[in-house]
Amino acid sequence: MKIGILCHSTYGGSGVVASELGKLLARRGHQVHFITVGYPFRLADFEPNIFIHEVAAFQHPLFKAPPYFLTQVTKTVEVLQQHQLDLLHAHYAVPHSLGAHLARQIAGRQVPVITTLHGTDTSLVGAHEEFYELTRYSLEVSDLVTVVSNFLAKQTRGTFEYQGELPVVYNFVDTEVFRPTDQSLRNQLTPQGEALIVHLSNFRPLKRVLDVLHVFHRVRQQQPARLVMIGDGPELPAAEKLAAELNLTGDILFLGQQDTVAPLLAAADVMLFPSCCESFGLAALEALSCGVPVIATTSGGIPEVILHGEVGFLTGVGQVEEMANYTLLLLKDDLLRQRMSRLAREHASTRFKADRWVERYEQIYQEVLQQT
Ligand code: GMT
């Protein structure tokens, strides 16, 4: 198949899923055309069958900001016509699904548009008054809408009164890349043999990075430990300030945004993932795949990923005391941690193995193509 993928190219779960999907589809023989503003995140190396169509920034004094939506539609029309695409797969309702729909109309080619909702597009962007109708419309005109968890399916039905089918296609992980590794990096990060805790996110308020620090503070009172904070975003300054106030600066590494996160995750004993609303939680899945148990919350789709008491522990949002107790339980009990680590890896490699979900997307493409 010739597949056009519209997605965000910046750091973020939806962009990661879209670029990993494109990469794996290309390896399975499909021709994949990315139509993006900027080079897709995590798509570093050359791959045959992958074509990148970057959307140019159109500058004109009449426009206060470059009208990316319009130039992305123009680029999509061009790619649809020149490469005779079979379908468009849009990640994110607004702007990508809407743009894909507009482009196929302009191009006069009724290729199917498949929209994958990732959560933030409907809960943050789409639920805003300004974008509600656009989001609802983009769902209605899609040939099929997929969601990344049962939680998101339910939320989408509730928010947009959406009646159509909503197949769940979970996030997936490349278990060859995200895998347990030897101890060398861990030894560098914890020269005194301390426990190692990790957090990975885009530091948006919903990730509750300050909870990570409060948990770490409690853990540190009982046992030597270091914390690796991976990512960047609006809450980073507040996190750095709190780390200093709690006198933890010497034990925390704020690494900023990193392209290669697998070895860092694999070096840790436990991941803290205290988000207050999460449709799936890709970063938590990546940790599981590295054999790292995750302490997370019961919010959103997280319980579909983290099985409480098996591959990690779940608490209510903001329950930092309980999170710290679970973290200490894991750090102090080697046998428990090793068992959970093994189960975490097994769980990620069976339920969320990339091939399984890429095949599911392929099946969806074929079904939609047959119906249109
Ligand atoms: O987590 C983020 O803030 C990034 C966000 C995005 O929109 O790129 O991630 C969302 O999509 C991921 C991939 O499907 C999911 O794993 C994340 O759970 C979801 N984030 C939220 O629901 C907050």
Strands 31-36 and 50-54: what pairing?
A: parallel
pLDDT average, residue stretch 78-103: 95
What is the 171 CA–ligand 1 centroid distance (Å)?
A: 10
What is the 16 CA–ligand 1 centroid distance (Å)?
A: 9
Ligand 1 atom closest to Cα of residue 171: 14
pLDDT of residue 46: 83
- d(C-alpha 261, C-alpha 231), whole Å: 10
Q: Is the pLDDT of residue 286 over 70?
A: yes
Q: Are 191 and 260 in contact (CB under 8 A)?
A: no
- d(C-alpha 146, C-alpha 165), whole Å: 8
- d(C-alpha 221, C-alpha 212), whole Å: 14
Site to probe by mutation for ligand 1, drawn from 149, 151, 209, 279 as the one with most ligand atoms within 8 Å of Cβ, is 279
For the chain, the maximum distance between any two Cα atoms, rounded to a whole number of angstroms, is 66
pLDDT of residue 279: 96
Q: Are 77 and 107 in contact (CB under 8 A)?
A: yes
What is the 15 CA–ligand 1 centroid distance (Å)?
A: 9
349-358 pLDDT, tens digit each: 999 999 999 9
Torsion of the alpha carbons at 31, 36, 38 and 43, rounded to the nearest 10: -30
DSSP string, 132-172: HHHHHHHHHHSSEEEESSHHHHHHHHHHH---S---B----
Q: H helices within 201-319, ranges in order?
A: 209-222, 236-245, 262-266, 282-289, 302-305
Q: What is the pTM of this model?
A: 0.95
ipTM of predicted assembly, 2 dp: 0.96
What is the 10 CA–ligand 1 centroid distance (Å)?
A: 12
Q: Are 293 and 312 in contact (CB under 8 A)?
A: yes
95-137 pLDDT, tens digit each: 999 999 999 999 998 899 999 999 987 776 666 778 899 999 9
Ligand 1 atom closest to Cα of residue 14: 8
N-term to C-term CA, the chain? 15
In terms of Cβ atoms closer than 10 Å to its own Cβ (0-12, 13-18, 19+), residue 360 is middle
260-275 pLDDT, tens digit each: 999 999 999 999 999 9
CA–chain centroid gap for 86, Å, is 26
Q: Which distant-in-sequence residues (6+ apart) come within 8 Å of 277 by Cβ?
A: 123, 206, 299, 300
318-358 pLDDT, tens digit each: 999 999 999 999 999 999 999 999 999 999 999 999 999 99
Ligand 1 atom closest to Cα of residue 92: 7
Q: Which of 254, 250, 204 is nearest to 228 (CA)?
A: 254
Q: Residues with beta carbon inside 6 Å of ligand 1?
A: 12-15, 17, 118-120, 148, 171, 202, 204, 206, 277-282
What is the 271 CA–ligand 1 centroid distance (Å)?
A: 17
> Hey, which residues does 146 pair with through a beta bridge?
116
Q: Work out the number of other CB atoms within 10 angstroms of the CB of residue 199.
A: 27
* Shortest-distance Cα residue to atom 9 of ligand 1: 13
16-58 pLDDT, tens digit each: 999 999 999 999 999 999 999 988 877 877 889 999 999 988 8
What is the 199 CA–ligand 1 centroid distance (Å)?
A: 15
* Shortest-distance Cα residue to atom 23 of ligand 1: 278
What is the 93 CA–ligand 1 centroid distance (Å)?
A: 13
Could you give the domains of the chain? 2-172+353-371 (3.40.50.2000), 184-351 (3.40.50.2000)
Task: Calculate the alpha carbon distances from 29 to 47, 91, 171 in Å.
Answer: 11, 21, 21
Reading the block at residue 95, the tokens are 């702007």
Ligand 1 atom closest to Cα of residue 278: 22
pLDDT of residue 127: 66
CA–chain centroid gap for 163, Å, is 26
* Shortest-distance Cα residue to atom 1 of ligand 1: 13
What is the 226 CA–ligand 1 centroid distance (Å)?
A: 26
Site to probe by mutation for ligand 1, drawn from 280, 285, 357 as the one with most ligand atoms within 8 Å of Cβ, is 280
